[in-house]
Structure 1
Amino acid sequence: MKRKKLLSIMLSLVLIIGLLAGCSTSKKDDTQGTTEGTTKEAKAEDPTAADTKKEHVNLKFFTGKIETIDVMNEIINDFNASQDRITVEQEYQKDASNIIKIKFAADQVPDIMTTYEQGFADEDKYLDLSDQSQWWSRLTPAMKDMCTDVDSGKQYRICTNMTMAGIFYNKEIFKELGLEVASNWNDFMANLETIKEKKPDVTPFFIFGNEAWHLGHLIEFIPQGYIKATYGTVEAKKAFLDNDKSKLNFGAPDGALATFAGNLLDMQAKGLINSDVLTATSDNCIQDFANGKAAMFSNGMWCLSSILEANPDMESNIGFAPYPAYMEGSKPVILSAEDSGYSISSTTKYKDEAIEFLNFLYKAENQKKYSEALKSPSAFTDVNASWASEGIVTEVNNALNSAVHIGFTNEKPAGFSGDDAGRMVQELLAGGYSAADFAKAFEEAWDAGMK
């Protein structure tokens, strides 16, 4: 009897344990079913839910264009706010063409940059952008040609704007003194001397020599401008690339470079440029010109917004002229070239992200904003920007119609940048060279940079 009772109790316990185990399994199965169902639903709603979440990307954007810092920050902020995966950070460097060398050497290359040197293109440091048809189909053919590498026929950068550079002059001063825009160097010097004599409180020609890029531009636009005008765009590009001494003739004591240096020293000796030339900045120049204290200076359309910001009333008083001919048989020249060129590093890990940002930057509404802030016409055919007043546009068109068009010297050696050339001009103005010695030293520096 006791045995039967004990057996009955044990059977009951086994039955209870079995039931509990079944309930436990049932709950587990229900839980798994719910989880799997939720996961399947999530996958149905978001195909990427099962993928590993993509890393956040920080894109480095490097520029030497002080005039575009504010508008670029505005566009960058809009882009960063438009999505949550990419953050673009802008870095400005005054000495950008030299800082970029350091970055390349230190393997700290920015993802996107506005600096461009032919030597770096030859070393495959820029990404080939030739296949980005969404950009090129909108660009004017002339500007696409400007962005095309002569040797390879490829495009390693894309410009967003066209720009002009020449001599800005005060129309009121010219009218008051009865001066005409000079087409040759002798008449140009005569104008400067008249301004010095009749208006002793006005700087006839302002040079902001504290900034090497500005002096480097004088080299590009005047002595190298003579070479470009003499041989034509393509042949001049080839001469720079091949270091064709028969055409460049940099070191000749009677060549374009020595003549330029001699003219500059002559202007300095006669007090026709500002006495603080080696310490003067672009801000000093803009302020003096905007307030009638400087009659003329050399620069590109990129400075127009700064002039008008300093003095909005100056708008109707801004004249614009080509660089006067200064070699025998030469003609006046004017820069008519690509502006705001953007390149992507060939070693960036974030090619797709860099292109995504440039796609955003190149939207027509952003380029209208950019063009109007830069005061420079857009290179995109679908961008209608009011970049300047009718009076200034007329001045620019008159200058373009009266001179030979030249481009930037993008074919400089990687080891001798525009800033390097500018520093040599600083030494010239500091008394470090005669005109002939300057030309010889320049040729040696150019040759060394080629190596």
Structure 2
Amino acid sequence: MKKLSWVMLVLVFSLVVSACGSNSTNNGSNAKNDSTPTNNQGDQNAAQSGSDNEEVKITILNSKSEIHTQMTEAGQQFSSAFPHIEVEVISTTQDQSPVERASSLYASGNPATITMLDTGDIEKFADKALDLSNEQWVSEQAQQFLIDGKTISFPFAVEGYGLIYNKEVLDNVSGGSFDPATINTTAKLEKLFQSIEQAGIVPLYIGSMDWSLGNHFLAISYATQGDTDVKGFIEVLKQGNADLINNSSFNGLLDTFDVMKNYNGGKADPMAVIYEQSTAAVAKGEAAMTFNGNWLITELLKSNPEGEYGFIPVPISNNEGDHANSSVAVGATKQFFVDAEKSTPAQQEAAKQFLNWLVYEAEGQDFLVNKANVIPAFKNIELELNNSLAIAINEYNLAGKSIEFAGNFVPGDHWKVLGASMQKYLADRADRSALATEIEEYWKSIQ
């Protein structure tokens, strides 16, 4: 295992353009726990300047539902260290994006004290966020993320995604130690699928989750445009000048997706393949792969605590020299902001204490690295990464083999609208031309 030194963390972030889940989400998965914050605002009349001894309750809106239990336990640990502060963790619902959930809480006049959003959505709440520019941890960030020259959010995680594989399965299929670098074209990926199938194992399961298909898989086409960056290509989409049906990255990505569909263990009923099913199949060795991100490790370890996993990049062509064919998507995907509109001064101070606890206290650091299984975004945290997927993401970045986590730059409803379009393509209810048209129409509607 490798330590996250200051230099390594700078490298981790060197290819990340911070502007930006899903949930899973989430980048991550959709939430399974739904509760409503209670008494979030406390006694407004009793609000003082935030005395260390003032009894106060704060709420945290967590948009990484796969770590809901761990986040709740972290809140309890924090409260043990600061007995005057009570912490309640709430989550996005299965049918709501983090932005929708946060917006509904604000509309009800009862927002969370601390809200976790995808990086691209932070700016939408800039007028409601507390200025954190003077916090000590700001100097520990490997990369600054500023809005209007101010730090208004706390980077929670560095994450990445691609084709997750079970190392034991692919070692057995390849007759030795499997090297993911050997799969650097669509044709080679198809040949690997054939070998896995001949060994009597399901090559892969494609999860039908809209957040995965929309904000992660489709977004690879935004991040692999050779003549422009993600933001530049999004502007081309908005202007209606993308001509996706003739776009080489878009078509190359869908060529790979077509191969994946052909070897999908759930192709008889692709919309029935859910997050838990695909994860469990890979963890148990019933399937070799699934498309997802390093946040999946928590779910994988539930089914196989001893399992080891890695990433194969999603190829977009049959050109071995294409950078994208050897690279995984990486970005600072989740950020906390502290409410400045409804929270009392005491709640705001308590929220700041929680963020400091994550960065500077052993229990907080342990939660990030060992419990939440994320790559932390702070130079001072030098705990060893303890899971195979985080280690794999880190190694791709250190080798300069990463593309931008383009889902960080899309609107809050992108995962739902275009995730649904991708679901239709997955289920053969729409052809490539129809998919391209739906994507173009979506972007032209964005102002």
Q: TM-score range with shorter-chain normalisation?
A: 0.7 to 0.9
Native 8 Å contact 2:110 2:342 kept in 1: no
Q: Cα 1:231–1:123, aligned 2, differ >3 Å: closer, same or farther? A: farther
Instruction: After TM superposition, give the deviation of residue 439 of structure 1 in Å.
Output: 1.4
**In the aligned structure 2, how far is the partner of 1:420 from the partner of 1:359?**
37
**In the aligned structure 1, how far is the partner of 2:134 from the partner of 2:240?**
35
Instruction: After TM superposition, give the deviation of residue 130 of structure 1 in Å.
Output: 5.1
Instruction: Select the residue among 276, 281, 287 that pairs with 1:288.
Output: 281
Q: Cα 1:396–1:133, aligned 2, differ >3 Å: closer, same or farther? A: closer
Q: Secondary structure at the match of 1:75?
A: helix
Do residues 172 (structure 1) and 168 (structure 2) align? yes
The aligned residue for residue 121 of structure 1 is 123
Q: 2:164 is aligned with what amino acid?
A: F
Q: Cα 1:313–1:215, aligned 2, differ >3 Å: closer, same or farther? A: same
Q: Cα 1:123–1:139, aligned 2, differ >3 Å: closer, same or farther? A: closer
Q: Cα 1:421–1:352, aligned 2, differ >3 Å: closer, same or farther? A: farther
Structure 1 unpaired stretches of 5+: 1-50
Q: 1:116 is aligned with what amino acid?
A: D
The aligned residue for residue 199 of structure 1 is 199
**In the aligned structure 2, how far is the partner of 1:79 from the partner of 1:59?**
12
Q: 2:338 is aligned with what amino acid?
A: I
Q: What does 1:314-329 align with in structure 2 at a 5 Å threshold?
A: 314-315=307-308, 318-326=309-317
Q: What does 1:371-382 align with in structure 2 at a 5 Å threshold?
A: 371-382=369-380
Q: 1:283 is aligned with what amino acid?
A: E
The aligned residue for residue 187 of structure 1 is 188
Native 8 Å contact 1:208 1:214 kept in 2: yes
Superposition CA RMSD, Å: 3.3
Q: Cα 1:313–1:321, aligned 2, differ >3 Å: closer, same or farther? A: same
Native 8 Å contact 2:237 2:443 kept in 1: no
Instruction: After TM superposition, give the deviation of residue 189 of structure 1 in Å.
Output: 1.9
Q: Cα 1:102–1:82, aligned 2, differ >3 Å: closer, same or farther? A: same
Native 8 Å contact 1:161 1:371 kept in 2: no
Instruction: After TM superposition, give the deviation of residue 61 of structure 1 in Å.
Output: 1.3
Q: Percent identity?
A: 18
Q: 1:319 is aligned with what amino acid?
A: G
The aligned residue for residue 17 of structure 2 is none
Q: Deviations over 1:226-267 (max 9, x none)?
A: 13xx356xx433543xx2339995552122345534543453
Which has more helix, going by share of residues?
A: 1
Q: Deviations over 1:137-190 (max 9, x none)?
A: 12223xx3xx345xx444332213322322222333333333763111121122
TM-score (norm 2): 0.74
Structure 2 unpaired stretches of 5+: 1-44, 49-53
Native 8 Å contact 2:166 2:288 kept in 1: yes
Query: With CA pairs under 8 Å and 6+ residues apart, which has the higher RCO, 1 or 2?
Result: 2
The aligned residue for residue 353 of structure 2 is 356
Native 8 Å contact 2:370 2:385 kept in 1: yes
Q: Secondary structure at the match of 2:245?
A: coil
The aligned residue for residue 60 of structure 1 is 59
The aligned residue for residue 27 of structure 1 is none
TM-score (norm 1): 0.73
**In the aligned structure 2, how far is the partner of 1:83 from the partner of 1:392?**
31
Native 8 Å contact 1:205 1:295 kept in 2: yes
Q: What does 1:101-120 align with in structure 2 at a 5 Å threshold?
A: 101-116=103-118, 118=120
Q: What does 1:2-401 align with in structure 2 at a 5 Å threshold?
A: 57-83=56-82, 85-93=84-92, 94=94, 95-97=96-98, 98-116=100-118, 118=120, 121-122=123-124, 124-127=126-129, 129=131, 131-141=133-143, 144=144, 147-149=145-147, 152-178=148-174, 181=180, 182-196=183-197, 198-200=198-200, 202-209=201-208, 211-219=209-217, 221-227=219-225, 230=226, 235-240=229-234, 243-245=235-237, 250-255=242-247, 256-261=249-254, 263-268=256-261, 270-275=262-267, 276-315=269-308, 318-326=309-317, 330-331=322-323, 332=325, 333-350=327-344, 351-365=348-362, 366-388=364-386, 393=391, 397=395, 401=399
Native 8 Å contact 1:167 1:323 kept in 2: yes
The aligned residue for residue 40 of structure 1 is none
Instruction: Select the residue among 438, 443, 446 that pairs with 2:435.
Output: 438
**In the aligned structure 2, how far is the partner of 1:395 from the partner of 1:308?**
17
Native 8 Å contact 2:128 2:339 kept in 1: yes
